């Protein structure tokens, strides 16, 4: 049995939902309400001592950290693949994913924004902060996408969505939620629009999860 | 020819130096002075449009984002391995690495601290901010290390340093530089101390690079 401890609006949770769906796996939704601090309760800390979403539990074995979970899914369930076969191409796909995984999302998640509001003594999310990291990271991804003439419109690599799209679609969702202007990123917007037509992405969308507020 | 565009004190650069040395590869040091904004000059932006260190160039092919570079090195030069062979164990090793790669380092690097000082209108690095992410992340790693009874003292997994140590040793170096108290993290300190005895880690140390100030 595959269980995913997650939260409808968490970007890292969203990534793993997409990957599970792209792999065609049958999985169970386990809800963590981050706003109610479910992830800091002893029952969840027994599963994931870091106290962060998501955690994937496969036949009782626990996997944490979404980048590690995605690599695990690729190794344990190789078909359909999320990564190309060529070593150099795999590295370039992973690099685009890591721009989001390391240089955008970690700076804009709930615990970091909460801490930042405390430091700056403001009530509102600091849009300049959020927008800077999203815009700089998306600009880098656009530049890398422009270097690949073989790329199909609507995909980051080849002609099927894969690892990068698992990161990109949740980050575009978050950018829109924060009101960040995305018109400078046409390739990213085209990829997001194409993915929105695919069932794996539709079923993973934050609006449609068991814990999504009515 | 393998060239690494990097900076002596950049944590992500330090990671890749360790991995190159653990793999026993012959590589060339290419210096980027981040304080002089070398990484924002056109010559480097042609190599890495994201304008961040490090970039690895192998026979003219460019690889960016240190987590992607480390996975590339593991695939292109598999011996000695940085990861175990078992799929589930690989995921657990990667999860520890990603605690540093996603939840500690991105919050404490130069561009983020600079932006934070601007937001909070302070001159000094905000030690509470830096210390919080290091302490929370290191506590999670200690908890995960404690779950593995087969682990040798001084290594995160098995009896040789690998992927986690590539992330951990630079992060411990940075923690000490920021004056963060580490006595609550005995397993991490033991791993760091063991790695400090090994030539691959000694040669990668920030104090001993071509661009280290005298």
pLDDT tens for A20-29 read: 999 999 999 9
Average pLDDT, chain B: 94
pLDDT value of position B125:
65
Report how far apart, in Å, the C-alpha atoms of A120 and of each of A109, A123, A129, B126, B134 are.
Answer: 16, 9, 12, 12, 20
> Cβ A68–B91 below 8 Å, yes or no?
yes
> Cβ B65–A119 below 8 Å, yes or no?
no
Q: Regarding the domain with residue range A2-80, which homologous superfamily does it belong to in the CATH classification?
A: Glutaredoxin (3.40.30.10)
Worst-scoring range by mean pLDDT, A57-61, A106-110, B61-65, B162-166? A106-110
pTM score of the predicted model: 0.97
Nearest to B99 among A50, A119, A143 (CB): A50
C-beta separation of A117 from A109 below 8 A: no
- Report ipTM (2 d.p.): 0.96
Cis peptide before B54 (omega within 30 of 0): yes
List CB contacts of A184: < 8 A, sequence separation 6 or more: A135, A138, A139, A142
Q: Alpha-carbon distance B179 to B43, whole Å?
A: 35
> Cβ B65–A105 below 8 Å, yes or no?
no
Could you count the other beta carbons within 10 Å of the beta carbon of residue B160? Answer: 15
Q: Alpha-carbon distance A193 to B77, whole Å?
A: 38
pLDDT value of position A125:
65
Q: If one looks up domain A87-200 in CATH, what number appears? A: 1.20.1050.10
Q: Alpha-carbon distance A155 to A147, whole Å?
A: 14
Q: Alpha-carbon distance B74 to B117, whole Å?
A: 37
Q: Check if A2-80 and A87-200 are the same fold.
A: no
Which residues in chain B have Cβ-Cβ distances shorter than 8 Å to A50? 99, 103, 136-137, 140, 143-144
Query: What is the bridge-based pairing of β-strands A61-64 and B28-31?
Result: unpaired
Using CB atoms within 10 Å of the CB of residue B46, give its burial: 0 to 12 exposed, 13 to 18 middle, 19+ buried.
exposed
Q: Alpha-carbon distance A151 to A56, whole Å?
A: 32
Residue A56 pairs in a beta bridge with A4, A63
pLDDT value of position A92:
96
Nearest to A140 among B50, B103, B129 (CB): B50
Which residues in chain A have Cβ-Cβ distances shorter than 8 Å to B144? 49-50
Interface test mutation site (partner A, options B19, B48, B58, B64, max chain A beta carbons within 10 A): B64
> Cβ B107–A107 below 8 Å, yes or no?
yes
| Domain assignments of chain A as residue spans, ordered by start | 2-80, 87-200
Among chain A residues, CA nearest to B47: A144
Which residues in chain B have Cβ-Cβ distances shorter than 8 Å to A95? 63-65, 68-69
Which residues in chain B have Cβ-Cβ distances shorter than 8 Å to A73? none
Q: Is A164's pLDDT higher than 70?
A: yes
The predicted-structure confidence for B67-77, as pLDDT tens digits, reads as follows 999 999 999 99
Q: Alpha-carbon distance B154 to B173, whole Å?
A: 16
> Cβ B71–A91 below 8 Å, yes or no?
yes
List CB contacts of A28: < 8 A, sequence separation 6 or more: A1, A2, A3, A4
Average pLDDT, chain A: 94
pLDDT value of position A52:
95
pLDDT higher at B125 or B132: B132
C-beta separation of A30 from A54 below 8 A: no
Interface test mutation site (partner B, options A10, A71, A93, A163, max chain B beta carbons within 10 A): A71
List CB contacts of A177: < 8 A, sequence separation 6 or more: none
Mean pLDDT along residues A52-64? 97
> Cβ A119–B102 below 8 Å, yes or no?
no
pLDDT value of position A114:
86
Question: How far is C-alpha B201 from the chain's CA centre?
Answer: 11
Among chain A residues, CA nearest to B74: A87
C-beta separation of B84 from B42 below 8 A: no
Q: For chain A, where are the alpha helices, taking DSSP H only?
A: 11-22, 42-47, 66-76, 87-103, 105-108, 110-120, 127-146, 163-177, 186-195, 199-204
Nearest to B107 among A63, A94, A106 (CB): A106
Residue B214 distance to chain A (closest CA, Å): 31
* Enclosing H/E stretch for B33: none
Which residues in chain B have Cβ-Cβ distances shorter than 8 Å to A98? 65-68
Nearest to B98 among A67, A90, A112 (CB): A67
Using CB atoms within 10 Å of the CB of residue A54, give its burial: 0 to 12 exposed, 13 to 18 middle, 19+ buried.
buried
The predicted-structure confidence for A65-122, as pLDDT tens digits, reads as follows 999 999 999 999 999 999 999 999 999 999 999 999 999 999 998 888 888 888 888 7
Which residues in chain A have Cβ-Cβ distances shorter than 8 Å to B103? 50, 52, 106
Report how far apart, in Å, the C-alpha atoms of A51 and of each of A39, A197, B136 are.
Answer: 5, 34, 10
C-beta separation of A138 from A103 below 8 A: no
Nearest to B67 among A69, A102, A120 (CB): A102
Q: Which of A79, A66, A41, A103 is nearest to A204 (CA)?
A: A66
Mark residue A60 as left, alpha or beta (left: phi above 0; alpha: psi -120 to 50; beta: remaining). Answer: left
The predicted-structure confidence for B196-213, as pLDDT tens digits, reads as follows 999 999 999 999 999 999
Beta strands per DSSP E along B51-147: 55-58, 61-64
Mark residue A24 as left, alpha or beta (left: phi above 0; alpha: psi -120 to 50; beta: remaining). Answer: left
Residue B198 distance to chain A (closest CA, Å): 27
Q: Is A165's pLDDT higher than 70?
A: yes
pLDDT higher at B178 or A124: B178
Report how far apart, in Å, the C-alpha atoms of B128 and of each of A113, A120, B99, B176, B180 are.
Answer: 15, 13, 19, 14, 9
Among chain B residues, CA nearest to A74: B87
């Amino acid at each position: 049995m595959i269980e995913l401890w997650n939260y409808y609006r968490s970007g890292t949770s969203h990534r793993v939902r997409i990957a599970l769906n792209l792999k065609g796996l049958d999985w169970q939704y386990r809800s963590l309400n981050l706003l109610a601090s479910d992830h800091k309760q002893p029952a969840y800390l027994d599963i994931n001592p870091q106290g962060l979403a998501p955690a994937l539990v496969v036949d009782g074995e626990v996997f944490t950290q979404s980048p590690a979970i995605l690599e695990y899914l690729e190794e344990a369930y190789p078909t359909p693949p999320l990564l190309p076969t060529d070593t150099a191409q795999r590295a370039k796909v992973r690099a685009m994913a890591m721009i989001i995984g390391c240089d955008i999302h970690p700076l804009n998640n709930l615990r970091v924004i909460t801490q930042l509001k405390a430091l700056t003594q403001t009530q509102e999310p600091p849009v300049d902060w959020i927008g800077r990291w999203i815009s700089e990271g998306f600009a880098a991804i656009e530049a890398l996408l422009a270097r690949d003439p073989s790329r199909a419109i609507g995909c980051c690599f080849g002609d099927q969505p894969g690892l990068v799209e698992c990161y990109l679609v949740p980050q575009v969702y978050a950018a829109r939620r924060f009101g960040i202007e995305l018109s400078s990123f046409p390739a990213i917007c085209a990829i997001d629009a194409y993915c929105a037509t695919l069932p794996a992405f539709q079923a993973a969308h934050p609006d449609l999860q068991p814990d999504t507020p009515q």
